[in-house]
Amino acid sequence: MSHEQKLRGFEREIESWKIRIKDANDRKTYDEVFDRQTLLAIYKLFSDGFFDILDFPISTGKEGNVFRGITRAGDYVAVKIYRLSTSTFRDLGKYILGDPRFKKAAKRFPQIIFSWAQKEYSNLERFSKAGVRVPEPIAVHRNVLVMEYIGNEYMPAPKMKDVILEDPNATAEYLLESVKNAYSRGHIVHGDMSEYNVLMTEDAPVIIDLAQAVVLDHWMSQELLERDITNLARFFRKAGVMIDEKEQLGRIRGGETATS
C-alpha cells in the first residue's frame, strides 16, 4: 500500500467518525482538527512506528483533541492533536515567548502551534525527571504529540472532577507535594492545576495538560503558582479538606519537606 493510499485511509476513517456525529459544532471541530497539514503529521508518526491505529477520541479541549492510538505491538498510546486555528493561536504567545527555552520560537501562525506541541513534550519530560507523575512523552511532530495512555482497554482514566475521592486528604497532600517537586526539582510551574487536569488511577493521580507550564525564569511563574494553589484549595475545600494557601506557598518556595 502506497503512502498516499494510507493517508487516504486515515481520511476515510475520520470521515466515518464525522458521519456518526449529529451535532454540527462537533463536526466543525473535527474539520478544524483534521486538516491536510495535520493528516500529514499523523501519517509521519504512523510511518515512524509510534502507532498503527488511531482509535477513538478520548477528550476534546480548547486547544485540540486527544485520541487513543494502538501500536503494532497492541499497546495503547495517547495522541494529542493541537488544532491549527487562529483562535487557538491568540492566547499562546505569553506562555511561549516569555519562556527562555523558546527564545527562538517562531511568532507567526502556524509555527507557534508547533512550538506549543514541542513545549508540552519538553514540559512532560521535565515534570517526569522531577519525580512528578505525568504521562510519559513518546514523540512529537509539528502539531501532534504522542504520549503514554492513562486508562485501560475500555476507557481512559477519569478526571478528578468526576470521581468521589476515597481519601481527599491523601490526594490533596500528594498533589501539593507534586507541585512542590515540580517547583524545587524541575524549576517549573504547571499553571493550570485543577480537578480538570488530574487523572485518577489505582496507583496515583496523574497530572495532565502541561503545554502552558512555565519555568521559574518566566515572568508569570509566581502568579501561576499562586493560581495553582488557589485552584487546589478551592476544589479540596468542597471535599472537606482545608488548605492554607499562604503556608503551602511558603513551603513550596522554601523547599521544605511535606507536611500532612
Question: Does residue 155 lie in a domain region?
Answer: no
As a whole number of angstroms, the distance between CA 254 and CA 42 comes to 43
To the query of whether residue 23 is one of the catalytic residues in this protein, the response is no
**Same structural domain for residues 12 and 110?**
yes
Domain tally, the chain? 2
Phi, psi of 239 (to 5 degrees): -95, 5
**Same structural domain for residues 231 and 126?**
no
- Give CA angle at 4 (1, 39), nearest 5°: 125
The mean pLDDT of 11-37, rounded to a whole number, is 65
CATH of the domain at 63: 3.30.200.20
**Same structural domain for residues 139 and 169?**
no
**Same structural domain for residues 134 and 230?**
no
**Same structural domain for residues 8 and 134?**
yes
pLDDT higher than 90, residue 15: no
Catalytic residue among 52, 209, 217, 228: 209
Question: Does residue 154 lie in a domain region?
Answer: no
State the average pLDDT for the chain: 88
Could you give the count of Cα atoms lying within 13 Å of 108 in the half-sphere of its Cβ? 0
**Same structural domain for residues 192 and 143?**
no
Closest of 177, 166, 157, 170 to residue 76, by C-alpha: 157
Report the phi/psi class of residue 144: left, alpha or beta, with left for phi > 0 and alpha for psi in -120 to 50. beta
pLDDT higher than 70, residue 255: no
Catalytic residue among 55, 192, 217, 228: 192
To the query of whether residue 192 is one of the catalytic residues in this protein, the response is yes
Question: Does residue 109 lie in a domain region?
Answer: yes
Domain termination residue (choose one: 101, 118, 148):
148
Question: Does residue 259 lie in a domain region?
Answer: no
**Same structural domain for residues 138 and 166?**
no
Domain termination residue (choose one: 110, 128, 148):
148
Q: Distance from CA of residue 210 to its chain's centroid?
A: 5
Domain termination residue (choose one: 127, 148, 169):
148
As a whole number of angstroms, the distance between CA 227 and CA 73 comes to 41
Instruction: Name the pTM for this structure.
Output: 0.89
pLDDT higher than 80, residue 12: no
pLDDT higher than 60, residue 64: yes
Query: Structural domain of residue 60, as residue ranges?
Result: 3-148
Question: Does residue 153 lie in a domain region?
Answer: no
**Same structural domain for residues 27 and 83?**
yes
Closest of 208, 117, 231 to residue 158, by C-alpha: 208
**Same structural domain for residues 12 and 47?**
yes
